[in-house]
Homo-oligomer: A and B are copies of this chain.
Amino acid sequence: MRSLLERLFLPAFANQWLDARHDSAVMRIGAERIAFTTDTYVVSPLFFPGGDIGKLAVFGTVNDLAMAGARPLYLSAGFILEEGLPLAMLEIIVASMREAAAAAGVELVTGDTKVVDRGKGDAVFINTAGIGAAADVEISPRRVQPGDVIILSGDVGRHGIAIMSVRKGLSFETALESDCAPLWQPVSALLQKGVDVHCMRDLTRGGLASALNEIALDAGVAIAIDESAVAVCEPVAAACELLGLDPLYVANEGRFVAFVTAEHADRALDVLSGCTVSAQPRVIGTVGARGDAIVEALGALGNPRILDLLSGEQLPRIC
């Protein structure tokens, strides 16, 4: 995906917004700063523990706005339905979207539906685009500075493993659900409390390791994290061992990293702790020198390893 972006899309549409390489584009329209983003959801299966494609399509896009420091306001929805899709299934998905939109405080204001012949789609694909009101402060990879502290909002890997558990027929002693959740509340709290947030990124496909790699590349900095500070719940850890997956690369849908100045790290932890969706934040690392965009993880025994950018998707159709 990244190479497609670098080789094809960025050169074709070169502009300041794509160059910023952030989850949302932020533009000035008249007197307002507007954030704009889009994501297409092709998750398989459509229903999984803790969510479904409808919920994902709302929260995923809302979160991309939040990561740019923008209050999510309006969503569009574009459906591609495969001929033969039971209407009852679509009704459940739409009800889930409505509930998610209400929870995230956004209005779905415009939509489109296309039907494709059987065998040319896969039940339902959903695209959502979102508009948000951006705070008057830039939050993006280019503001990342050496010395910034990296805070992770919670444990990792729940979404990816929840999906894999359905695909592989795994069951766990303790119920495991996707972490799929809207993230504007903690972001809004950080901004209101005056935390100097340089960058944020939600951890979606590719997980924590990919998000850190993207930011390291786009900011042109080294990043070092302490792997033992990254929380992984027991069922995720067990499933990762069983399936041969690295939890740092497994998808999330309700977790994010925030890059803040060292002076503001304690305040940020305080603020995040007060929000349900980020109740167990941890400092997991710091930004090193400018130059090589490398992400290094220090293991429990003090052994370092490089977290590479994966060349393919570890888990296809996870969102």
Q: Which residues of A contact B (CB under 8 A)?
A: 1, 4-5, 8-9, 12-13, 15, 17-18, 24-25, 27, 29-32, 34, 36-42, 73-74, 76-80, 87, 90-91, 94-95, 97-98, 101, 107-117, 119-122, 125, 127, 129, 131, 133, 313, 316-317
Contacts and interface: CB of A to CB of B under 8 A. Distances in A.
B114 A38 contact: no
A107 B38 contact: no
Contacts of A8: 87, 90-91, 94
Contacts of A97: 12-13
B120 A25 contact: no
B12 A110 contact: no
B31 A30 contact: yes
B40 A109 contact: no
Of listed A74, A113, A121, A129, residue having the most chain B CB within 10 A: A129
B17 A110 contact: yes
B40 A112 contact: yes
Given A38-B127, A110-B25, A131-B131, A119 B116 contact: no
A120 B125 CA distance: 10
Contacts of A90: 8
A94 B8 CA distance: 8
B25 A127 contact: no
A30 B32 contact: yes
A77 B38 contact: yes
A115 B120 CA distance: 13
Contacts of A25: 74, 109-110
A98 B12 CA distance: 6
Contacts of A109: 15, 17-18, 25, 27, 36
9 contacts: A13-B97, A13-B111, A18-B110, A25-B109, A29-B32, A34-B131, A39-B78, A40-B112, A120-B122
A261 to B, nearest CB: 27
B74 A12 contact: no
Nearest to A18: B109
Contacts of A36: 74, 76, 109-110, 129, 131
A127 B317 CA distance: 18
Given A13-B98, A31-B32, A94-B12, A110 B38 contact: yes
Given A12-B98, A94-B12, A76 B111 contact: no
Contacts of A117: 316-317
Contacts of A15: 107-109
Contact of A111 (B38, B115, B116): B38
A41 B78 CA distance: 10
A242 B316 CA distance: 46
